[in-house]
Amino acid sequence: MLDRADQAAFEAFARGSSDRLLRTALLLSGDHGHAEDLVQTALLRTARRWSAARRDPDAYARRVVVNLARDRWRLLRRRFGEAPLEIDVAVPVTDGLADRELLVAAVRQLPPGQRAVLVLRYFDDLSVADTAAALGCSTGTVKSQTARALDRLRAALTSEREKTSADR
């Protein structure tokens, strides 16, 4: 499949990027087992297309992970009666937001496209253009989806804080 030099380059890439790809896949899929499967499949597809991927293997593999996650979302949408997946991701605490569970629950309620935009923009720290390239959409779509997702998160977190304050 790969000659020795390409194999060494691919293995170095895989070692260096697996953790980042796994975090992205976990945030997109919400399930650790599925995230590991997404990363394994993405690395396999990247290795198969190494001649094209070697120019920017991080972007290539990230795009494969996003596409695989989309395929999974479509499959799950067609199934009936499945329980929502639990996300177990370390989310940094910033600006006084101390309740990780509220944030994870709010992110879980986002539509898959909005969740993907937030994961790529804020967790993977991609630019608008890089996010658009990873998702295969325009920069305007990334901006509008980001704004909508952030509005939904603010609304969900505000209502939860108000409920918590009222309960006290």
Nearest-angstrom CA–CA distance, 159 and 148: 17
Nearby residues of 72 by Cβ (< 8 Å), 6 or more positions away: 29, 34, 38
- pLDDT value at residue 1: 66
Nearest-angstrom CA–CA distance, 41 and 43: 5
Nearest-angstrom CA–CA distance, 99 and 161: 10
- pLDDT value at residue 64: 95
- pLDDT value at residue 35: 92
Nearest-angstrom CA–CA distance, 69 and 50: 21
- pLDDT value at residue 81: 55
Residue 164: pLDDT band (50, 70, 90) is low
Centre a 10 Å sphere on the Cβ of residue 45 and count the other Cβ atoms it contains: 18
Tens of pLDDT, residue by residue over 63-107, are 999 999 988 877 776 665 555 445 444 544 444 445 667 777 788
- For 14-33, what is the mean pLDDT? 91
- pLDDT value at residue 167: 64
Nearby residues of 43 by Cβ (< 8 Å), 6 or more positions away: 14, 18, 21, 61
Nearest-angstrom CA–CA distance, 29 and 31: 5
Nearby residues of 136 by Cβ (< 8 Å), 6 or more positions away: 63, 67
Report CA 66 to chain centroid distance, whole Å: 7
- pLDDT value at residue 95: 46
CB 107 within 8 A of CB 135: no
Tens of pLDDT, residue by residue over 96-147, are 445 667 777 788 788 888 999 998 998 889 999 999 999 999 999 999 999 9
Tens of pLDDT, residue by residue over 47-65, are 999 999 999 999 999 999 9
CB 97 within 8 A of CB 157: yes
